[in-house]
Each structure stands twice: as C-alpha cells, then as structure tokens.
Structure 1
C-alpha cells in the first residue's frame, strides 16, 4: 500500500523530464509529503487525541509558569529565569511539530514546502540543543546555591544570567545550522515521500541520491558531543552538590537542601531518558517496527514540554503558593 501511494504521489507532486535518459534528476523539490505514522494511518485520528491533549496541557502549563514568574517579584532570580527559558524553549519545540502533525492526522494535509521542511528541521535541532544547555545552566545555578550559597547572588547576577542564556542560544543556533544547509544542497531524485510525522533530519537526507555521510556524521557527532558534554557537566555539578549535602550536620537539613534540586533532577530525567530511548531505537533498532520508532521520536519531543511545568508546579513551593493565591483570589 505504501509503495502504491509513493508511486502515485511522486509522479503527481514532482514532475520531471527525461530527455534521452532513463534517470530522474531534480534538486530542492518544491514539496515533501509527510506520511504521519506509516502503518497506523487508520488510527491517526485516535492517536491525535492524546497528542492534542498533551500539547494543550504543555501550552497551559508553560504559559502559567511564565505568567507566575513575571507577576511574582520574589521569583525574579536565576533559577526562575532559567525556568522561563525552559518554558519558552518547550513552547517553541512542541509548536514546531504539533500543528503540522495534527493537520496530517485530522485533514490528511501531508504536503510541506521544502523550505518549510528545512525550517522545521532547524527548529527541532536548535531547540533540542538549547534545552540541553538550559539544564546545564540550571545545574550550575544549583551548584552555586548549595556549594557556595553566600556568593550565589554575587556570582549569578542578572548580567551573568543573561550572558549564560545568550551562550545557550548561540550554541544551539550555530551547531544546528549546518543540518538544513547540508540537506538543502543534496540532489533529491528518488522520492519526496518522508515516512515520518515531521521533517526529522535523517529521514529527509535519506531521500537524497548522493553520499550523505557528511550530514549523517555531523548530526550524529553533534548529538553525541552535546549530550555527552552536557551530561558530564551536570553529573560533575551534582557530585559536588551531593558532597556538600552529605557534609551537612543533620538529616533534616540534608533532605531539605536536596529537595531544592528535586525539580531539576526530575526535569533532566524527563528530557534525557526519552532522548536516549529514541536515539537507541533509531540507531540500533533495525528490527523495531517503523511506526514504533516514529512514535518514540514524537514522545521524545512532546513529553518533556508536558512534564516540565507539572514537575515544577508540584515540587516548587513558591510556584504552588503563587498558584494558590491566584485561585483563592479569583474565588473571593
């Protein structure tokens, strides 16, 4: 069924000329076709229900975090500035894939312009790298707050926080830029059918009739180096944090201090575990069904934006108190 669809759509969407040659050659096709989740087409409407609910909760939760931090002067500090960066990042990341994905599921609107596909690819890579960098910044904040609390306000001043945020943004932007630039230069002469629900980098460049090892190696190197370095810095920060915590005199003080890191640790796990699972499935799961690989890739991008505001809302007392004030004030 997939082969039949591919044959019909390629001939319709991407006409080509064959003047005295049996080869097809075109560069930068005007449109690609996203299949959604191949093999589960009949279930697209049902799959869209939890995805839409996740997106709605992510929007509500992250906008709530931004509103509370903006309205509460006592939350105007480094930890909450980084939390706002995380909320904005999650909003952009989820919005870069969900609207188009839902249009595929609901309206069978599978076409996406080539430039729009590359833009989506860039946003996904850029904001994924930025999210990892934000977690490093948050780990540094927790390290200073626990290991050197008296100097926390002098080390993490507003200008320093702004510079850290700028560095996170520039790193994500620069490291992700070669992916769409390389993808744009390849000739696409096989098909314009992408067996995915969004313009995932490898899924797109695999359609090129050229040696794509540069694209493949670059994306793999960036993913590995960014994740490895960021996890290393986060781990080193928490080793120092744990040493400082265990040196505290009482168990109550140890638990109370460690509790200030609980939200950050849960958010890290919510981001890196789906990332690791999706990466392993794509790289080594050759016997894993394609629809399961694509579902895992979607979960990796959708679950963290859903969970982060819930985690911080549940585990951060200052945010809980502000939310309670808002609701009780409205109730009166």
Structure 2
C-alpha cells in the first residue's frame, strides 16, 4: 500500500475559515482516501466542524492556535506577527513550517496571498537558481489544459526572471501532462516581435538563444490565446498574470449568469434547457472557477498551494487535489532535475546583449 500523503491545512485561512476548509477536506478524502491531515487553527472552531465528518476525523489531527492571519494584513505585517514568536504562531505559519520539518508533504491555505507567499518564502526558502517564486495554476482551454504563471506572487521582474518562470512552468506541465518538451509562450500585447515591454522582448531573445532541451519556446501569446490553448505553458509576470486570471474568472461567472437568465425567460427556453441539460451542465462545469481552484507556489523547497479565499467547500477540495497531485508526481524533485539538466538551465542564460548580438 502506498505511503499516505500528509496534508497540512490552514484551517483559519480564507473568507470563512474552518466552515469551508473542513468540509472541503472531507470532500477531497472521498476521492483520495490515502491521505491524512494536520489541521492548524482554533480547536474550539475546528472540532464542531470535524464532528460532522467522521471519516475525516479518523485521519486528522488538530494543532491548536488562536492566531490567524487577516485577509487584509500586509505581507510584512503578517510575517512579523504571524510567524513563530515564542510558543505562539499563526495557523498559516504552522502549516508551512510542518512542510519544512517534514511532518507534512504539502500545505494548503485559502488565506491572504501576499502573507502566504512571504511566509512560504521566508520559511522554506527558494530552490537554487530561483530568485522569486511564482504562483502557477492549471487553466482549462479549448485544447485541453495549460499551466499559467505567475498569477500574482511577484510583481515585475526582468528577462531572466521570465526565463526562470518558463523553466518552472515547464516542469509542472511535464509532470502533469506527461510531456517531454512542453511548448511555452510569453503573454504579450501582440504576437509581433517589436511589441511589448523591453523585459518581455529580452526574455524572448534569451529563450530562443538558450534553446533549452526541456521546453520549446513558441513566441508571444495574446490574452485570447490563453483560452485557445496556444501553448502548454503561458508565462507572465505577476501583475499581468493576476489580471488575466481575475478577468477570466469574472467572464466565466458573467457567462453563467447570462445563461441562467436566458434559459428562464420563456417556456420554450425552459424546455430547450431540459432537452440539453447535460450539455449545459458540462458547459457550467467548464466555466466554474472553483473547479480550477488551487495555485501552486513554484520555486520553493516544498509544496504550498493557494486556494481562492472566497471559494466554497467543493472549490477548496479541488485546491487540495492540486497539492495531492504535486506530491504524488514528486514535483519538487522533477523541478530540481529540470533546473540541473545539462548543467544549470538558468546558469546557461546569456545576458540580453549577448542574446541579441
């Protein structure tokens, strides 16, 4: 029997905390019974929720803390107040620290994104050759799924940072999609080589010059190309990546509302809905942001997954699914192997001037 995956949950994270985290963990457990949980948070809040899920209670242990990171805390404040000081620490910090100590294989939190990234980076540190971590997620497209990063971990970044993101994203795509050489595109305002910020154009020159064996650079991708599945991996710096994500999620919810309104206008539309109910359900599932929930913080010496703060229990379960898969696919070691293949992939990078000369 395979070893159980040990999952640390920040039970106080997100808009409503344990009332979503615990039912979400219970839903996940029905799909993956080979898991066990460390639940970090206020015992008085967690236990009443856990009482409704006997199966989860058998494989879960509560580690009490009444310190929680607010969704409105600045990352610096959260890091200062939320990490371990004496015997007290926040539920978010303790969940991440359990990964560092080897007590858990993955930490999942729906809490404050900036705080989670700051704590994860401070506690776990980054892998050799990686200066700044990134948030990567699986994005449903018309051709299947793509990995998109960075979705908000690091704002800005030079050309070498974008190249690093390409390597990290390719590692995730290769293990998730079983691809030997994933295709990679850079998110830009146009596909022409003269368009976009200087850093993006320089990153394109670097990727072409390096010709890395672990990825195939295919050029610039416009915003609409993400949904079209223009590449297995789409790379953006954190500001534009986060805007793209939020815009896509908002559009999906808007389309769902339009469909709901259109199908309730008349008797004929209601009959049409009944006749095509399965097709509409499949469409709603594709458009449901909760079913694509869970961003992996790539580039750290450990697996940390960020869930949407406002998700429901089903959505949180999907985020835990992502963490489980990253552990089962041995993501960290695969990333290290990819970074080290043929020497250090990042150390090979010429300067931007060398690339264009």
Q: By the TM > 0.5 criterion, same fold?
A: no
TM-score range relative to shorter protein: under 0.3
Q: Which has the higher helix share?
A: 1
Return the TM-score normalized by structure 1. Answer: 0.25
Q: Which has the higher strand share?
A: 2
Return the TM-score normalized by structure 2. Answer: 0.24
